[in-house]
Amino acid sequence: MPSVRESLKERGVDVARLRTEGSQFPKSLSFSNSTSPVVLTNYLDTQYYGEIGIGTPPQTFKVIFDTGSANLWVPSTKCSPLYTACEIHSLYDSSETSSYMENGTEFTIHYGSGKVKGFLSQDMVTVGGITVTQTFGEVTELPLIPFMLAKFDGVLGMGFPAQAVGGVTPVFDHILSQRVLKEDVFSVYYSRNSKNSHLLGGEIVLGGSDPQYYQGNFHYVSISKTGSWQIKMKGVSVRSTTLLCEEGCMVVVDTGASYISGPTSSLRLLMETLGAKELSTDEYVVNCNQVPTLPDISFHLGGKAYTLTSADYVLQGKPLCFLPGPLQ
């Protein structure tokens, strides 16, 4: 099978020109031994998304950078008219890009809140000024719930190749293969500036981290399952008493999730301790006036306790405030 470069040349496409045009999105450029930041927008402290470009010239999409999955997908102009959620999002149009390569393999990706279906395609993808040739999903079936309420268009999976549907190499792995980053790492910062969605909502940094968002040194925790951002937790404590995961348990670091989640029975015990009430929607709430009096919650990871205050773990509303919920 010919390489993508060979196939493009056979079609008379100037590969060097494609890379030049693709690198024009966004304005920041990346060089060897550098970092590439992508600014994120925060919507109501539940959705954090940044812009990428697909195609030549680049078509712009807002995506969630999700460590819980490994595929990139965006809605397609071929989306079925039965799925009205597609109508409010940016749609990828393969006829408007000179670097498009047909694939056609069908795929389905399952999430906790639903699933998307479509077919695979290939094009130039630009993230943080770095352009790679990428196989991605054109989604043709986008369910009303939750995507009618989503401010983002698609998902860029930051998971491992073993998680990828269709045997696709993830975007970040392609970026690593170019050896343009300072380090083979990425970091994520989420803000709580939800009152004004136009303020900096966060940042994902490819190749390093941004010291303006933290103090001290990083403490590393080994992943417990090859091919997944899963780590071992030694317990969850409230007021120095370990309530959950007393014998140790496995947890997943999922940047695509809106909340801290857990098994229903465990969350019920924690919420009872906090004095929260359960709604018919399986959500837990407290009166917002109670928030300052709620205790800290500590998560024990890698020999350290990571403590969240009530301001950290409560999602502000009015007059009710929401707390972590059960796994779906």
CA atoms within a 13 Å half-sphere pointing along the CA-CB vector of 189: 18
How many Cα atoms occupy the beta-carbon half-sphere of 234 within 13 Å? 10
Residue 14 to residues 11, 21, 23, 176, Cα–Cα distance (Å):
9, 11, 14, 24
Q: Which one is catalytic: 45, 66, 123, 153?
A: 66
Known catalytic residue: 45? no
Q: What DSSP assignment string belongs to 111-146?
A: ETTEEEEEEEEEEEEEETTEEEEEEEEEEEE--HHH
The Cβ of residue 265 has, within 10 Å, a number of other Cβ atoms equal to 10
Query: CA 63, 94, 99: angle at the middle one, nearest 5?
Result: 95
216 contact partners, CB below 8 Å, separation of at least 6: none
**Could you confirm whether 254 is annotated as catalytic?**
yes
List 45, 123, 153, 254, catalytic entry: 254
Note if the bond before 161 is cis, omega within 30 degrees.
Answer: no
Rounded distance between C-alpha atoms, residue 8 and residue 57, angstroms:
15
Residues with active-site annotation: 66, 254
